[in-house]
Structure 1
Amino acid sequence: MFVREMSREECQGVVAAGDLARLACCRGGQPYIVPITYAHSGKAFYFFSMPGQKIDWMRSNPKVSLQISEFASNRRWKSVVVTGTYRELPAQGCGNERLHAWSLLQKKANWWEPGGLKPVPQEISGASAHIFFCVEMDEMTGRAACAGEQ
């Protein structure tokens, strides 16, 4: 197997083709990683979530990483890592960007499930608890593996 660095264009191709990322955050020296559906536009990755651990952690430490992959086999894969900064898109004052995030996300099948489903019943509230947020990209790198030697 041969592993090589991917070009920026190759990384962008993996990002454009995908819709599921692993979102990593950290608080108090403890890492936390979850799968989440994303939409991408320019240097921003857009997400939807309900309140919970990842939101609490990103509010306290906005530096995050994303990992997006294409997997063909154990010897043929591509992996892109994005580092960036978490930023919430509040319902007031950020409406255009929030609407833009929703318009991109709603094109993805079941876009709300990874961020909206919880393993235990949730309280019904009169106020919307939906959170739209973005990760503003600082850096993007990638590696690809292929069978054989080079």
Structure 2
Amino acid sequence: MIVKEMSRHDCSSVVQEGHVACLACCLDDKPYVVPITYAYSGNCLYAFSMPGRKIDWMRKNPNVCLQIDASSEGEWKSVVIYGRYQELAPTGQWHREYLHAWSLLEKRVNWWEPGGLKPAPQEVSGHYPHLFFSIDILEMTGRACCASETCN
């Protein structure tokens, strides 16, 4: 097996083909990692969430890291993204990007999972406090492990 660095193009292909990432954020020297469903467009990842720990933490420290994997029959690819959180408000300056995020995500089956599910029963309300956010990609690197030098 051979491990090699992936090009930016190869990393982008893995991110484009995927839809679930592990999102890491940090507050007061404590890391927190959760799965998110995302959509990739331009130099951003778009995601959905209900209010909670990750949103609270990213509002206080917008620097995040994501990891996206792809694997098949003993071979794997892993991409790490360093980025910056931006909450997308449904009105004002972020309205268009909010709608863009929603339009990209709704193309996926169960796009609202896992961001919309909580382990405890939730109150039924006429107001749903969901939100969309983007991660502006600052750096993207990756590695691949395969059986030969010519793997892609």
TM-score normalised by length of structure 1: 0.94
Q: In 1, are the aligned partners of 2:90 and 2:99 still within 8 Å (CA)?
A: no
| 1:35 partner letter | P
Is 1:25 the counterpart of 2:35 in the alignment? no
1:104-138 residue CA offsets vs partner (Å, 9 max, x unmatched):
00111111011000000112333330110000010
| 1:26 partner letter | C
Q: Name the SS of the counterpart of 1:88 in structure 2.
A: strand
Q: Name the SS of the counterpart of 1:125 in structure 2.
A: coil
Deviation >6 Å, runs of 4+: none
Q: Name the SS of the counterpart of 1:113 in structure 2.
A: coil
Distance in 1 between the 2:122 and 2:28 partners?
27
Distance in 2 between the 1:128 and 1:65 partners?
27
Q: Which residue number corresponds to residue 15 of structure 2?
A: 15
- % of aligned pairs identical? 60
Counterparts of residues 1-150 of structure 1 (less than 5 Å) = 1-73=1-73, 75-93=74-92, 94-147=94-147
Distance in 1 between the 2:4 and 2:149 partners?
11
Distance in 2 between the 1:114 and 1:90 partners?
20
1:28-52 residue CA offsets vs partner (Å, 9 max, x unmatched):
1111111110001111100000001
Aligned residues: 149
Q: Name the SS of the counterpart of 1:103 in structure 2.
A: helix
| 2:4 partner letter | R
- TM-superposed CA distance for 1:70, in Å, is 0.3
Please identify, of 139-148 and 21-30, the stretch whose mean Cα deviation from structure 2 is larger. 139-148
| 2:85 partner letter | Y
Distance in 2 between the 1:115 and 1:149 partners?
39
Structure 2: state its 5+ residue gaps.
Answer: none
- TM-superposed CA distance for 1:102, in Å, is 0.4
TM-score normalised by length of structure 2: 0.93
